[in-house]
Structure 1
Amino acid sequence: MRTRPLKVALLGCGVVGSEVARIMTTHADDLAARIGAPVELAGVAVRRPSKVREGIDPALVTTDATALVERGDIDVVIEVIGGIEPARTLITTAFEHGTSVVSANKALLAQDGPALHAAAERHGRDLYYEAAVAGAIPLVRPLRESLAGDKVNRVLGIVNGTTNFILDRMDTSGAGYSEALDEATALGYAEADPTADVEGFDAAAKAAILAGIAFHTRVGIGEVHREGITEVTAADIASARRMGCTVKLLAICERAADGRSVTARVHPAMIPLSHPLASVREAYNAVFVEAEAAGQLMFYGPGAGGSPTASAVLGDLVAVCRNKLGETTGPGESAYTRLPVSPMGEVVTRYHISLDVADKPGVLAQVATVFAESGVSIDTVRQQSRQDPDGEASLVVVTHRAPDAALSGTVEALRKLDTVRGVASIMRVEGE
């Protein structure tokens, strides 16, 4: 074993960073045995140096992250500060100074992944980011390495624990969205500002990364269709239950049937209770991968939190350090297919549409005519009279598979009918 330690610079020492530092210290002997050389925490860049950080030598703490990554003796930089800047500049600076990088920054990788990969390749260094998607769940490496000889056709997953907790509570306890969000906040699953989670931004960033790796093409965050869960109601949950389904916020990345394009989208959807993802409860994550030769694979586990995310970071650290000792680098960006990303309108799936209609004869025929004229085939219809003074009824239509654009045209036409008082909700049906 080499006796001179590999030196690590840690950028950020919050929930994840502090856990990375703790594991590096408490598991130092094991890490050294697995790598073939000891690893040493050489510096920790933070914003508030006066804060007490248990187990970290205060002499290692600095507010000058740039000076830390520019040090000539640093072998690996671990970036867990998040956001776009200064993370992007610090990572590129590290490459320029001959240092490999381990990152957990999904937002940055989804936005600037190609440029960062190019910088890493230009300087002959590694860029690893297992922790950027689904926390401790080994997902990036299996897609990038284990399935490198296979053809992945679909990735379907729950990649945000906050939204899964909220939807699970709505399903199991009958709580409304606001009540379930309050509980998630109280338990620490949701941030004070939950927008990134509940509006789907977090999941969309992960979908962009997964699609790029799975299909060997570049998928930008702006090419991912995104819808959040704020409009999901208790009525949607109840209707899903009547269909033998549950509601999940899904990240779906698909290769077109003809193989000439891909799609990436994030939105709530009904999935059958028989699907493996339906049983994913609380704040857990799970990703279902469909490959041509391997078949169906499922990856499940905690998708966030200090310890789970730190586990993924340390796994990358071991791999990067081994590469350093072997004077090699791991797999970089694979974007040789250069497949276009199709718009959401070309996505084909099933739909669950809930309408408020006039409770009188002939309404169902009018609605059915609109679907037929739009080229959307109806699978089932359920009508229920409310016996209210306004004379309204609820009409639920579940379609066969149809393009999203056709469904949008159908809904526009339905809204123009005098007998349709309102479109209460539209939800896709997936996983069948």
Structure 2
Amino acid sequence: MTKFSPFDETLWHATAVDAPDTGPLEGTVRTDICVVGGGYSGLTTAIELRRRGHEVVLLEAQEAGFGGSGRNAGHCTPTFSYLTLDDLRSHLGTERANRLIRRQTSGADMAAEYIRDFQISCEWKQNGYFQGALSPSRIARIRKKAESYASVGCPSGLVDAEEAKRLTGSERFFGGWLLRSGGHLNPLSYSRGLARAALQEGARIFTRSKVTKVERMGQRWHVKTDGGEVVADKVIMATGAYTDGGWKGLDKTFRIKKVILAATSPLPEDVRAQVIPFDGTMHDGRGDIFVYKYNREGRIVASMFPVGRRGRDLEYTRQMLMDRLRWLHPQVPEATTWDYYWTGELDMQRHTIPRLYGLGPGVLACTGLSGRGVPTGTMLGGILADWAEGTPEKDLPLPVERLHSAPAYMSMAPGLVLRWYGFQDNMAARRDGVELPPHA
């Protein structure tokens, strides 16, 4: 059995709403479509299919939100991780890329609709996403991003140093990019809310039901677990980074990238009025990202990728995270501690966009969300439901590919890229004569 990071050490496990009452599959059930995976992608697919009148059974090996959907940092930033919009058009072709761009950039609004329609209690706030410029020469780069996303209809713009300070409470930024559609939430509460929504819509959900085999018998697929099987016309595998068996080779289509997450002790109210007063998602703007936001208790939840000593040495990592936070926001009291520390797994792809794999007639898999889980997982439900309803592949926002393994270099590439980004940022800061962040 694949070993994943502990689930019960996360802030979200301690603070999320209760999970809906579900249990394991027993015996044989029949349905139109079987969805495997109880994260955002699988749950929104189940909801969309039920809304369109299809019978749906969803199988989850652990509990809804056990994977990245329940342990991520809770940011809902409806952008692409690394590729520019023009890069996407070159990679996918203009027409298909524009379809994907429309879906992804509306991902936070889609989440807001689910939360509103199903009255999901998940600490949702849609106050925006801020990416800063820590040196003057970085303004040009974020201006291009702001203009690019504005050109496709997003509420996106550049802010000057004064406005950046008003929004963030930090004097470190020379300006920034504000994407007003960004949001944040409690990711496990959102997962559990989507599971309740799927049940409310009439989907059948079986948890603690790990898929051991999927095989074709006659005209239908038999999705087997230790306790029973689902007989379905079509199957959608939406297990992401937490793929553990079910279909041979599917777990080789991506490379696992660890992420570090931590949550502080609650900050006093007067401090919260000075630190991130706009209460949105904060990105310090460096390529080796430091991203953070509040939860409902006034804890700052921060995330970074492990590189070198960071992530291996726990004491150093905690100190580095606090030093970075207090460098940006010296108003944070010295007595502040990291009350929670955990890790999670991302399913990284070379192009950092999801991939669809045709596994057989009537079987589709989706992996490779690459760290944009909340908006991407939310919007993927509509795409996977479109496929299940027979939308031609040429009309989907993503191509359907043959199953193939991610290149071997992907095991090392993300870490090398982060180091390169850090080097570039440090050089820019030195050229501009500005102070480097601690541990940069």
TM-score, normalized by length of structure 1? 0.25
Higher RCO by CA contacts (8 Å cutoff, separation 6 or greater):
2
